[in-house]
């Protein structure tokens, strides 16, 4: 292998995201014995190796030769810590682009909110990420890296991962599925502790179902009728609420897993009691959980977060209809790290 190809491998050759079997095949291709595959696997996923030169169990000469081979790790460009201990990271990718990841600690857990794209093409009216446009999809290893980076920085095992950072996971389905598999198999996070959140892209939920992953699927509904949804989410014009809900029903049938619905609460827009009642009718027949997200302010639009009374009233209507409901009180607001506030800035 020439130096040129060592320095600029295709992203398929990046080591992170590969399984034990793939890494074993790779070391053998490099003329090393098979057992070095297991060492490489452990150093990548357990010890946080950022370069092959970090791997002290490897022969010195080979380590030196391979020192520049891309492992697939980002660097922390900036990190801000909110008073509630949530940490927002700006990570610099190999090509210099910046993405966000968020570490959210609770008493027993460490949840990482990962990005699936640089920017987002969906342009939902209330979300900061879409305002900055879309740059590119992330590769699977760039998603796995976010989890390892947060894990290392906290010095604590990550228990949960939510794909609720920048980007629309269903617009990058193949790499997201590969990342989910690696997080489960290689990083050791239970499939049921992995949540993929989507606003819905025609046919993609069905495609995801075919993978029969035991993950949690969260669907961003945000509206109780088609007209309102179109007003908030441009892509809803080409994908009706009915079609989205039908795809969710099929997903439940194929996977045997429930779907969770997310609903951002915008004062006076979609938080009225009649919206709650309409939502109940939409979700009839679903054994579901609704996650209400009181709007987190962004500078470009002047939506308001509803007051406590409104939120409670909305919650009560769902509960009376026997729908499980929780309110996602935002973590990381002060660090601009809450839902919908992610953009690649230090602001
Ligand atoms: N593209 C995925 C992931 C987006 S982020 C999706 O749409 O599901 C995760 C959640 O935060 C989504 O439900 C998203 O709609 C919501 N969100 C976006 N902007 C928000 C804001 N300003 N306040 C509260 N929630 C927001």
144 and 28 co-located in one domain = no
Residue 326 lies in a domain: yes
Render pLDDT for 243-260 as a digit per residue (tens, 0 to 9): 999 999 999 999 999 999
- The confidence band for 5, taking pLDDT boundaries of 50, 70 and 90, is very low
* Domain end call among 43, 65, 87: 65
Long-range contacts (CB closer than 8 Å, 24 or more residues apart) made by 214-217: 214/255, 214/257, 215/180, 215/191, 215/257, 216/192, 216/257, 216/258, 216/260, 217/248, 217/251, 217/255, 217/257, 217/259, 217/260
Q: Domain for residue 129, yes or no?
A: yes
Give catalytic status of residue 100 as yes or no.
yes
Q: Given a cut of 50, is residue 347 above it in pLDDT?
A: no
Whole-number pLDDT of residue 331: 73
User: Which is nearest to 228 in space by CA: 271, 191, 194, 259?
Assistant: 271
**Is 339 a known active-site residue?**
yes
Please indicate, yes or no, whether residues 205 and 299 belong to a single structural domain of this protein: yes
Q: Which atom of ligand 1 is nearest to the CA of 163?
A: 3
CA pair distance 191, 80, nearest whole angstrom: 29
Asked if 9 and 47 sit in the same domain, the reply is: yes
What total number of domains does the chain contain? 2
* One domain for residues 58 and 191: no
Q: Are 92 and 115 within one domain?
A: yes
What CATH number did the domain enclosing 328 receive? 3.20.20.70
- Same domain for 143 and 40, yes or no, is no
Residue 162 sits in the same domain as residue 43: no
What is the percent of the chain where pLDDT is above 90? 88
Residue nearest to atom 1 of ligand 1 (CA): 168
The pLDDT assigned to 131 comes to 92
Structure confidence by residue, pLDDT tens digits, 167-216? 999 999 999 999 999 999 999 999 999 999 999 999 999 999 999 999 99
Q: How confident is the model over 300-320, as a mean pLDDT?
A: 96
In this structure, the answer to whether residues 40 and 96 fall within a common structural domain is: no
User: Residue 76 and residue 258: Cα distance in Å, rounded?
Assistant: 36
Mean pLDDT of the chain: 93
Whole-angstrom distance, CA of residue 187 vs CA of residue 242 = 37
The enclosing domain of 28 has a CATH number of 1.10.150.530
Residues having CB closer than 6 A to ligand 1 are 124, 126-127, 164, 168, 197-199, 220, 262, 264, 293, 295-296, 298, 339-340
Residue 343 belongs to a domain: no
Whether 272 maps to a domain, the answer reads yes
**167 and 21 together in one domain:** no
Q: How confident is the model at residue 93 (pLDDT cuts 50, 70, 90)?
A: very high
Within-domain flag for 46? yes
- Asked whether residue 286 is assigned to any structural domain, the reply reads yes
Residue 56 domain boundaries: 3-65
Ligand 1 centroid–CA 272 distance in Å is 20
Do both 9 and 154 map to the same domain? no
pLDDT tier for residue 148 given thresholds of 50, 70 and 90: very high
Note the Cα 307 to chain centre separation in Å.
28
Q: Do 37 and 119 fall into the same domain?
A: no
The answer to the question of residue 70 being in a domain is no
Domain boundary among 16, 34, 65: 65
Both 194 and 330 in one domain: the answer is yes
Asked if residue 347 belongs to a domain, the reply is no
Nearest CA to ligand 1 atom 4: 164
Mean pLDDT of 297-314: 94
């Amino acid at each position: 292998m020439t130096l040129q190809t060592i320095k600029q491998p295709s992203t398929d050759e990046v080591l992170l995201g590969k399984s034990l079997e793939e890494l074993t095949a790779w070391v053998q291709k490099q003329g090393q014995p098979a057992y070095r595959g297991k060492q490489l696997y452990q150093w990548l996923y357990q010890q946080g190796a950022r370069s092959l030169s970090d791997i002290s169990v490897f022969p010195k000469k080979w380590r030196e030769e391979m020192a520049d081979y891309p492992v697939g790790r980002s660097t922390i460009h900036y990190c801000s810590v909110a008073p509630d201990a949530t940490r927002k990271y700006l990570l610099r990718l190999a090509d210099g682009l910046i993405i966000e990841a968020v570490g959210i600690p609770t008493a027993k857990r460490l949840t990482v909110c990962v990005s699936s794209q640089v920017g987002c093409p969906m342009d939902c009216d209330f979300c900061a990420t879409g305002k900055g446009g879309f740059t590119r999809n992330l590769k699977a290893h760039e998603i796995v890296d976010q989890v390892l980076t947060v894990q290392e920085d906290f010095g604590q095992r990550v228990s949960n991962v939510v794909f609720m950072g920048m980007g629309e996971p269903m617009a990058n389905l193949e790499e997201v599925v590969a990342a989910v598999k690696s997080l489960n198999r290689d990083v050791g996070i239970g499939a049921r502790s992995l949540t993929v959140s989507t606003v819905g892209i025609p046919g993609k939920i069905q495609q995801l179902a075919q993978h029969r992953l035991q993950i949690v699927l969260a669907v961003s509904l945000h509206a109780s009728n088609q007209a309102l949804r179109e007003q908030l989410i441009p892509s809803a014009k080409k994908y009706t609420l009915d079609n989205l809900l039908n795809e969710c029903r099929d997903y439940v049938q194929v996977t045997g897993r429930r779907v969770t619905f997310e609903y951002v609460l915008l004062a006076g827009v979609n938080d009225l009691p009649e919206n709650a009642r309409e939502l109940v009718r939409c979700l009839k027949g679903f054994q579901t959980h609704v996650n209400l997200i009181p709007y987190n302010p962004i500078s470009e639009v002047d939506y308001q977060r509803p007051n406590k009374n409104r939120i409670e009233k909305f919650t009560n209507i769902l509960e009376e209809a026997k729908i499980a409901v929780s309110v996602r009180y935002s973590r990381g607001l002060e660090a601009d790290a809450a839902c919908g506030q992610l953009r690649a800035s230090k602001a």
